[in-house]
Structure 1
Amino acid sequence: MDSIRRTELLARRLHSHALTSPVSIPDGAPGVVDRLFALQGQDLPGALWSLGLRSGSTLTEVTAAFDDGTLVRSWPFRGTLHVLRAEDVHWTLALTSERILRSAVRRREELELDPETLEKARAAAVGALTGGGRLSRRELLELFEAAGIRTNGQRGYHLLWHLSVTGTTVLGPMQGSEQLFVLLDEWVSEPRRLDRDASLAELVRRYLAGRAPAGTADIAWWAKLPLADIRAGLAEAAADLDEVDYAGTPHWRLSGGAEFPGDPSDRTDAAEPGFRTRSVALLPGFDEYLLGYTDRSAALAAEHAPLTVPGGNGIFKPTLVIRGRIAGLWSRKSTAKKTVLSLHPFAPIPRRDHAGIRRAAEEYGRFLAVPVELDPS
């Protein structure tokens, strides 16, 4: 088994994540999702930027992929919202939903959501959405209230979550900055169907295509499936995988180096006008580059973890990435006319990276289609 060091691990992961050049994936937002399989999407503006960053698409172009039914958001992994291909929702939920729902039994009891109430909410949603209906979160909650179902506290959110995890609804088209609920089976008329063995192998291959090299525990944590299931998927996909050692732990990647074709300087198009590698990236909070692993120590120093995920509460702040390492945080203040970015580096930024930071800010401006300035302070 070959061994790799941290610099190579991070270089390979940057390539897998399509973060090595300003337009790493020319097929737009759907191409990014093809590469990463699913991206955590609880922060919708951040998820849209994750897609635009990797494809060079504008915000308008990214949202169009939701409006035309190509991309959706649902809760297929870890009980958390993710962006994924519409055609992949059914088989991923078939693989994960039973376990997700079982983990929420006590929470449903605390919220006094018995099977009769859940079915009443489902019937109300189906009745309102059948035939191409679209409802916002607020409208769907008002519908439940009108049906005599209380939505106070966390009851309303849990009802919305439950309907999607059980395959009734999905978040599809956009309405301004908000995404609307639709019926899954109406919105996705031609879903992929896979048996369990094929699903586990597909999950492993698709996870690694966008995140390799990664360990078995990383995949299991990300999918929230038992290690035995992930090992079964690795065995089923074994012909497509290579194993490498990092820090004494086996890591997996696609065979033949498919996720890492070599040093960008060796590429034939490296000499073409306009070609350059990206040394600096401004990642949104919850981006898969950091969140997609249970062991994040290669990219994030231990002393910086409390700053990046304050209190370990699962809220990931937007990060400044320089050559694969988390080098700081960033924030923004936006108006209708411009956006001002403030950088919060963990240490002084080397002069050689100043140009890369300016380019990263320009990328964000192109995505938003508004001027972006760097706060000089």
Structure 2
Amino acid sequence: MKVSWNQVLAWRLRRQYLEPLTDPDPVEVVGRLCGVQAQVTSSAELAIALRRATADQGGLASALAEGALMKTWAMRGTLHWVTPGEGADFLSLLASARTWEKPAWTREFGATPQQVSDLVEKVSEILHGAELTREELAAELIRDRRFTGMEKQLRSGWGALLKPLAWQGALCHGSGQGNKITFIAPRDLPGWKGLPDPAEAGPRAFAAYLGAYGPAGPELFDHWLSRGSLRKTLLRAFVAELGDRLTAVEVEGRPAYVLTEHADELAATEPTRSVHLLGGFDQYILGPGTKAEEILPQEHRAKVSKTAGWIAPLLVAGGRITGVWEVSGRQLNVTLFPGASAPAREDLEAAAGRVARAGGLGRLTVQVS
């Protein structure tokens, strides 16, 4: 089966609830996207709002409080909103890479593999039925001689020492206390069933990824999940386990897989000329990655993927990123990439109107440069 990138990108827009617009529940959006990056709460809220016809924000906090969503360090070590079921699969795979057992990790973060194992046990004990702030959790841990000298890392906002604990299911973020981050045990969530075996989690996780970001190969999935940390034999086993649930696809000479249930729909998809303004850290680019030149030309990558891991808001036309944007006062400023054509004015203004409604910004004027 052969398809074009124009078809693929149009199909992804449909799968990611960007067109046609409907009114999916925020939990449904998070599940379909295999998580929504959560370092900046307003960006996560915007990502969901722009995928709903009503452009309504809200729902993440209540879903977290109800246990329908969890907030934890997941893909690529970054903070994400995920459903407990999918989250358990992703975390199982991340834990299977055992990155904290590598000497370079120990040198960087000052904890041996045994100390990480001890932290998992101790944190699971401390958080049983409890919700603690970062400071409270650190204070409890440093009373234990095994964790002497770790106070600075345990209190760090980067959470580097806590990430392996999250991947092993010992902690996740709680609802918070005002502006203070809190942690709870995932086992206290209604939808948490523990970490599955990686051999079971892998095929489910790869299939979920293909449902939003396919066609793709297992290597791209691994890059999205763990920056290439999974064993190649494990990745091949995912493909073998899925068997005839996968259909081989050639996208302009590039081999990949799509879920068989989506193959006919993809083949029948027509290219799109739609225009979208997506927020920072949007999954539309984070799913395939900022090195995906079929979406983002390499010469413009630095305009989107900025220093300190910041991902700029996107102008997407015909499925491809053709510029970036920002809001200043009552004006939405669009900066086109050199050589890119400006979308039709009415399409840009309609997209800006959705951003305004989603962000509660009032009417915005659009300036293109």
**Cα distance change on mapping 1:141 and 1:175 into 2, 3 Å:** same
Structure 2 residue aligned with 1:62: 60
Distance 1:198 1:356 in 2: 44
Structure 2 residue aligned with 1:270: none
Alpha carbons 1:278, 1:356 under 8 Å: kept:
no
Q: Does 1:185 align with 2:187?
A: yes
Q: Does 1:247 align with 2:252?
A: yes
**Cα distance change on mapping 1:178 and 1:252 into 2, 3 Å:** farther
Distance 1:8 1:40 in 2: 26
Q: Does 1:308 align with 2:313?
A: no
TM-superposed CA distance for 1:245, in Å, is: 0.7
Alpha carbons 1:129, 1:182 under 8 Å: kept:
yes
Which of 344, 350, 366 is matched with 1:359 structurally? Answer: 350
Distance 2:124 2:328 in 1: 40
Q: Which runs of 5+ in 1 are unaligned?
A: 266-276
Alpha carbons 2:71, 2:82 under 8 Å: kept:
yes
Correspondence 1:65-214 to 2 at 5 A: 65-102=63-100, 105-114=103-112, 118=116, 125-126=123-124, 129-131=127-129, 133-137=130-134, 139-141=136-138, 150-152=150-152, 156=156, 157-173=159-175, 175=177, 180-188=182-190, 190-191=192-193, 194-214=196-216
Alpha carbons 1:71, 1:172 under 8 Å: kept:
no
Alpha carbons 2:69, 2:81 under 8 Å: kept:
yes
Amino acid at match of 1:327: T
TM-superposed CA distance for 1:82, in Å, is: 2.5
TM-superposed CA distance for 1:13, in Å, is: 2.1
Structure 2 residue aligned with 1:328: 323
SS at match of 2:162: helix
Distance 1:287 1:190 in 2: 26
Structure 2 residue aligned with 1:299: 295
Distance 2:224 2:342 in 1: 36
Q: Does 1:368 align with 2:367?
A: no
Alpha carbons 1:169, 1:184 under 8 Å: kept:
yes
CA-based RMSD of the aligned residues comes to: 3.4
Distance 1:368 1:177 in 2: 20
Q: Which runs of 5+ in 2 are unaligned?
A: none
Which of 277, 280, 285 is matched with 1:282 structurally? Answer: 277
SS at match of 2:351: helix
Distance 1:37 1:179 in 2: 23
Q: Does 1:234 align with 2:239?
A: yes
TM-superposed CA distance for 1:15, in Å, is: 2.0
Amino acid at match of 2:312: K
Higher mean C-alpha deviation, range 83-92 or range 245-254:
83-92
Higher mean C-alpha deviation, range 251-260 or range 45-54:
251-260
Which of 215, 218, 225 is matched with 1:216 structurally? Answer: 218
Deviations 1:200-235 (A, max 9, x none): 211121010111122332112123323332222122
Number of equivalences: 357
Distance 1:235 1:203 in 2: 14
Alpha carbons 2:352, 2:366 under 8 Å: kept:
no
Deviations 1:32-79 (A, max 9, x none): 122122333333332232222223453222332222111112233332
Alpha carbons 1:129, 1:183 under 8 Å: kept:
yes
**Cα distance change on mapping 1:152 and 1:6 into 2, 3 Å:** same
Alpha carbons 1:216, 1:230 under 8 Å: kept:
yes
Distance 1:103 1:375 in 2: 51
Higher mean C-alpha deviation, range 279-288 or range 96-105:
96-105
Alpha carbons 1:73, 1:83 under 8 Å: kept:
yes
Higher mean C-alpha deviation, range 292-301 or range 146-155:
146-155
Identity of aligned residues (%): 25
Distance 1:59 1:177 in 2: 19
- Provide the TM-score with structure 1 as the length reference: 0.80
